[in-house]
Structure 1
Amino acid sequence: MNANLVRQLQDSVLAVWFEGWVPGQAVSGNLMKKWFGKDEAFDNRLRTVVPDTIQRGFWKTHTRYFEHWKSHIGFHQNSKPDPQARIVARHAFENGYEDKLHPVHRAWLYMPLEHSEDKVDQALSVMKFQQLAEESSDTYKELFESFSKYAQDHKAVIDRFGRYPHRNKILDRKSTLEEEEFMKDHNGW
């Protein structure tokens, strides 16, 4: 693929995902709501940009974001994460690439591990998010402490059930009675 085209795709997708955020500044509450909530205008903008990048293969090198983008562009929100995202994350760890990323970008590299149903991935997710929180500047400390807590919460569910019960229906898995009880009070994240 043409290097200029790759750069244009990268810039267009990341401009939407990180719109309004400048490295060194705190991540706004509005951006957090877009990332983790439901914002139809934001989702529609991603729907116009992301499919083109998927079609052109951009996601293969930016899976740290793609795994989370899927829920914004109409993929099943509770579906199993893309294993390619975990492979890319592990490759980044093994080759020192994560250290070259801004801490906010690094957090997105860790998300596929948090969304994994693998206990090893969960332990690594908790470790990476805790490390990020411990090493962060005051600007990002609250954000990364929150991410670290969510990683611990995700791990607790996997430790308890070995899977995310809220994915059972979409993945055509039968829920246990304990999982059904759990889901009465916990509908996922």
Structure 2
Amino acid sequence: MPRPDDVLRFWLDEVGPDGWYVADDALDATIRDGFGALVDRAADGGHCDWATTPRTALAYLVVADQFSRNVHRGDGRAYAADRWARAIAKLALRLGWDMAVPEPGRQFFYLPLMHAESLQDQERGVRLILLRMPRTGAQNLLHARAHREVIRRFGRFPHRNADLGRATTAAEAAFLDQGGYGGVVRRLQEG
């Protein structure tokens, strides 16, 4: 079973910032093959014991909040560990562990808040990126604001509806037809 250092070496050093947010079938398969068992255990509450140091908590958040989206892309299981990731992120933030991790890796302490279907968590995520990522946070701040805008408008992420078996409202369907999240990002970039 991979350990926290294996997760961080792969994600921070091998994949790196250029690959973190790219939908890539080959990367998804690599993560599934190498870390899929960790993801599935995290969805069941496993590996929370990794939250004992800043680095091991960071590794947990990468598994629960990032790898889960790669391993289960297009499937509701992509979000199965989100509640655990938020809990560990909030613990780590309370302990100041995010500040022990250099940018840009620090962002993974804030992403569980950005992925939450909670306006309070969204607001906190925006503030944290604004205040605690001065060097590399500009692009993250744009996306944090876009996530927050979607939650402000709908109270949930409409693009998840199909994956989670939720009915899509007429307003959400119109939003998705008009570019959805990507449309919000473009509008914020222009404004």
Q: What is the TM-score when the length of structure 1 is the normalising length?
A: 0.76
Alignment match, 2:149: 156
Query: Separation in 2 of the partners of 1:115 and 1:75?
Result: 14
* Secondary structure class of the residue paired with 1:116: coil
Q: Distance in 1 between matches of 2:13 and 2:165?
A: 36
The counterpart of 2:9, out of the listed 15, 26, 32, is 15
Asked if 1:176 corresponds to 2:169, the answer is: yes
Describe the SS at the equivalent of 1:19. helix
In the other structure, the counterpart of 1:72 is 70
| 1:102 and 2:102 correspond | yes
Per-residue Cα deviation, 1:106-147 (whole angstroms, up to 9, x for no partner):
1011111001001110000100111134x32xxx3xxx1000
Aligned: 1:42 with 2:35: no
Q: TM-score, normalised by structure 2?
A: 0.76
On the 8 A contact 2:161/2:168 being kept in 1, the answer is yes
Paired with 1:60 and 1:162, the residues of 2 have a C-alpha distance of 31
Report the Cα offset of residue 20 of structure 1: 4.3
> Residue 159 and residue 38 in structure 1: after superposition, are their counterparts in 2 closer, same or farther (change >3 A)?
same
Larger Rg: 1
Displacement after TM superposition at 1:40 (Å): 2.8
Distance in 2 (alpha carbons) for counterparts of 1:59 and 1:51:
16
Alpha-carbon distance in structure 1 between the residues aligned to 2:108 and 2:17: 12
Matched letter for residue 68 of structure 1: Q
CA distance in structure 2 between the partners assigned to 1:107 and 1:122 by the alignment = 14
Aligned partner of residue 103 in structure 1, secondary structure: coil
- Seen in structure 2, the aligned counterparts of structure 1 residues 87 and 185 have a Cα distance that, compared at 3 Å, is same
Distance verdict in 2 for CA 1:60–1:47, change over 3 Å: farther
Paired positions, count = 167
Q: Distance in 2 between matches of 1:155 and 1:77?
A: 22
Deviation of 1:47 after TM superposition, in Å, equals 1.6
How far off is 1:37 after superposition?
1.4
Cα distance in 2 between the residues matched to 1:53 and 1:10: 10
Q: Which runs of 5+ in 1 are unaligned?
A: 22-30
Distance in 1 separating the partners of 2:30 and 2:48: 17
SS in 1 for 2:110: helix
Contact 2:93 2:109 in 1 (8 A): no
Q: How far is 1:182 from its partner? A: 0.2
Identity among equivalent positions (%) equals 25
Which moves more between the two structures, 157-166 or 167-176?
167-176
Kindly provide the CA deviation profile for residues 130-167 of structure 1, in whole angstroms up to 9, marking residues without a partner as x.
1134x32xxx3xxx100001000000000011111111
| Consecutive aligned runs of 4 or more in structure 1 exceeding 3 Å deviation | 52-60, 75-81
